[in-house]
Amino acid sequence: MTETPREMTRTSRSTRELIGWRNAIFTVFFLSGLSFASWVARLPAIRDDTSLNTQGVGLVILSGSIASVLGLIAAPGLLARFGARSGMIGVLVAVSVGLVLVGLGGSVVPSITLLVIGLAFVGFGNGAVDVMMNVEGAEAEREIGRTLMPLMHAFFSFGTVAGAGLAAVASALSVSVAVHLGVIAVLIAIGVIVAVRFVPLREELGDDTHTDTPRTPWRERLREGLSVWADLRLLLIGVVMLGMSFAEGSAGDWLALAVVDGHGYDETTGAAVFTVFTVAMTAGRVLGGPFIDRFGRVPMLRILAAMGVAGLALFIYATEPWMLIVGTVLWGLGGALGFPVGMSAAADVPDRRAAAARVTAVAIIGYCAFLVGPPFLGFLGQQFGLLNALLVILLLMVMAGLAAPAAKERSPRIDA
């Protein structure tokens, strides 16, 4: 029988408690994806109701992106001050408030100011909860003893699918943006309040555990959290996440356009190829956990990085449709597991307080890649052509593969 180090470090929590914790984090990931897709899918209606031009839409979206970065930066302090339970409730309720404001400013009383404020709430809340849910997910995975982070990230994808589908139904039924987003906001607020009841209280994250032991002052916890940035191994894990997150985030913005402008296909083909990418990415996350448990993090990351490099090369230099499709599939699979596996690797230390701080640090690196990568590629694409700009992703995937050993399990597998 073979067991992993995680399996030997399980706590005394019951199976029921662990399953409840896991499902709670699945729910938070789902709600985050639901919130994002719900307003994005109604963007055409919001644009029409507010009479925004393309540049105006871009500037409005920028407000949400800036707020997301601020949420990422603020997350460690919020965790240290309020803990994971209260923190996740607070920031997802902020997202709910933002969705209501977006609905009002985007349809009932068309107002760019209200729209910008609403997207700032949505962006800040989602940026902060991205860090918090990954911190909790990594710890739940460690105690359960199986690789679950890829599946947790798949639940974010499930949330985006549900959000886009509900938005399409709302649009087809002529439901106003305000009513649609208002209903979604209520679902998110209720959902997070119910879900986090199953998240255990942990003093190292700032939760009030109601014990007689005095809590470490939150400012001290914050200082300890920031100190992990001096860890070279952690920064190399960040390189893995940077490369693969860059590959994922940039595909969302530029893949379809690269198919159209770079390869000369029509818009329908561009949309279809992007769909292939999302299916490959989601499949990789749903199915990837058992492979990681079987073969280990480092071999899988190296294989995936190689697949991503090969896929990007095929996509960039494709001369036949099959090359485009195969390249897209490999691109999607190659970037599927880097982010969640990086979270698991960052959390793989004995000190649980340090683990939370390390996960927070690499989450910030990964999500900044999501936010900064697409605009950066847009700038390069304007100067050198979009397909040539994608070579940056290829280079980052090579770097991710080279940095993969930093994600090695802390202890070897033990044969019992």
Same domain, 189 and 236: no
The answer for 174, left when phi > 0, alpha when psi is -120 to 50, beta otherwise, is left
The amino acid that residue 251 corresponds to is A
Same domain, 172 and 258: no
Same domain, 79 and 113: yes
Answer positive or negative: Cα dihedral of 91, 92, 94, 98.
Answer: positive
Eight-state DSSP code of residue 1: -
Same domain, 123 and 230: no
Maximum Cα–Cα distance for the chain, whole Å? 68
Mean pLDDT within 138-167:
85
> Do 27 and 162 touch, CB atoms closer than 8 A?
no
Mean pLDDT within 222-230:
66
Task: Count CA within 13 A, CB hemisphere, residue 387.
Answer: 14
pLDDT the model gives residue 5: 42
When pLDDT is cut at 50, 70 and 90, the band that residue 224 belongs to is low
Q: What mean pLDDT value characterizes the chain?
A: 83
Mean pLDDT within 366-371:
75
Same domain, 258 and 144: no
CATH number of 245's domain: 1.20.1250.20
**pTM of the full structure:** 0.75
pLDDT the model gives residue 181: 94
Phi, psi of 3 (to 5 degrees): -135, 150
CA distance 147 to 292: 7
Mean pLDDT within 181-199:
95
In a domain, 413, yes or no: no
Domain count, the chain: 2
In a domain, 94, yes or no: yes
Confidence check: pLDDT of 330 > 50: yes
pLDDT the model gives residue 226: 65
CA distance 25 to 403: 28
Same domain, 344 and 397: yes
Instruction: Provide the angle, in degrees to the nearest 10, between the axes of the packed helices 352-384 and 391-403.
Output: 150
Among residues 172, 203, 234, which one ends one of the domains?
Answer: 203
In a domain, 60, yes or no: yes
> Do 88 and 196 touch, CB atoms closer than 8 A?
yes
Expressed as residue numbers, the domain containing 182 is 1-203
Same domain, 233 and 195: no
DSSP 238-256: HHHHHHHHHHHHHHHHHHH
Same domain, 255 and 340: yes
Confidence check: pLDDT of 213 > 60: no
pLDDT the model gives residue 87: 92
pLDDT the model gives residue 179: 94
In a domain, 218, yes or no: no
CA distance 177 to 185: 12
Selection from 42-56, 132-146, 172-186 with the highest mean pLDDT: 172-186
